[in-house]
Amino acid sequence: MSRMPSVRRLWLARGPWRHLWTLLPCLRLGLRPYQDPLGGGSASVSTDWFERAHHIVSSLRGPLNLFELTHRFTSDQAPLVRRLLDLLLQKGGVETLHLRSVYLLVRLPPFHSLKVLRLYECHVVLPTGFQGFNSLTTLELDRVRISSDHLNFLIHTSNNLTTFLGSGFRVSEDPLSLSITSPLLRHLTFEIDDFIENVSVISAPCLEHVEIINWISNCTDSSSKKLASVALGLLISVATVSSLDLDSDILRSLSLVTLPIDFSFSRLRSLSFIFYINTMDKRMCDAFLWMLRSMPFLEELKVNIFFFYFP
């Protein structure tokens, strides 16, 4: 653009192309974090920044299919973020919403056309009278603070949900308890950690692939045993899936509990495991053999072996 003759630049700025940007289908707003010379922090966002963002969204003439907001906002800026999301709701047409590292209480507007919702590092509540995202197919929650009631209701009312990823949940009071009922859910990825009290699949007739990550904060037998019943309960509730991905920490948990003798993964065809070879012991090997004996129709076994490094 800088090499163009000034007359041509002026024509582009004032000619028929000057409003072309208002038809953009995707909009990503935010500031890249930076480390200052005195030890950290991120670039601040002023009120003027929100006014410009509001103007940009207001000026869009076509449907905005994707909107992403990324920044660590301050608590007093929560009303400005809410105002921006409400404007998106008024504009309509948003199919994909990404909120990353906003670190705020976010009251989700009822986007009627929303298909993909990805939330990372924020506190989420559902608005009063929320009836679900009828078009939602993909829900990804990572390091999100949300109550058990709101999470269960969000999944239960998303009748077209096919993919759910939940990891790193943060809770302020009671541990998270989740009972999944989803008629079209096909892919489930879930991380079990210290904040999870219970998770199970009550009804998901289309469920095909499940990945379970068992993250233990201090890797002791006591913490593993605390989560063992959670991991075993989730495994038993997904016994009819055809594909399963697990890691070594699942075996650590299962090795500390009494495993059911007559249990069977009746339809499992593919099993993928991540082994940290230097953390394996006899009890974990016994748990692994129990799993293999519980899979009479297994056709594919994928084992990824790593060496765990202790700093």
Whole-number Cα distances in Å, 199 to 81, 152, 228, 294, 304:
32, 10, 12, 21, 26
Query: Which tens digit of pLDDT belongs to each residue from 243-273?
Result: 999 987 788 788 878 888 788 898 999 999 8
Distance CA 122, CA 124 (A): 6
pLDDT of residue 21: 62
pLDDT of residue 27: 86
pLDDT of residue 224: 67
Q: Is the pLDDT of residue 237 over 50?
A: yes
Instruction: Report residue 212's pLDDT band, with 50, 70 and 90 as the boundaries.
Output: very high
pLDDT of residue 101: 84
Residue 308 Ramachandran class (φ > 0 left, ψ -120 to 50 alpha, else beta): beta
Q: What angle do CA 92, 95, 96 make, to 5 degrees?
A: 125
Whole-number Cα distances in Å, 280 to 90, 168, 288, 290, 300:
55, 25, 10, 15, 22
The amino acid at 290? W
**What predicted TM-score, i.e. pTM, was given to this entire model?**
0.85
Domains of the chain: which residue ranges? 1-31+45-127, 137-311
Query: Which tens digit of pLDDT belongs to each residue from 157-170?
Result: 999 999 999 998 88
Averaged confidence pLDDT in the chain: 82
Q: Is the pLDDT of residue 36 over 60?
A: no
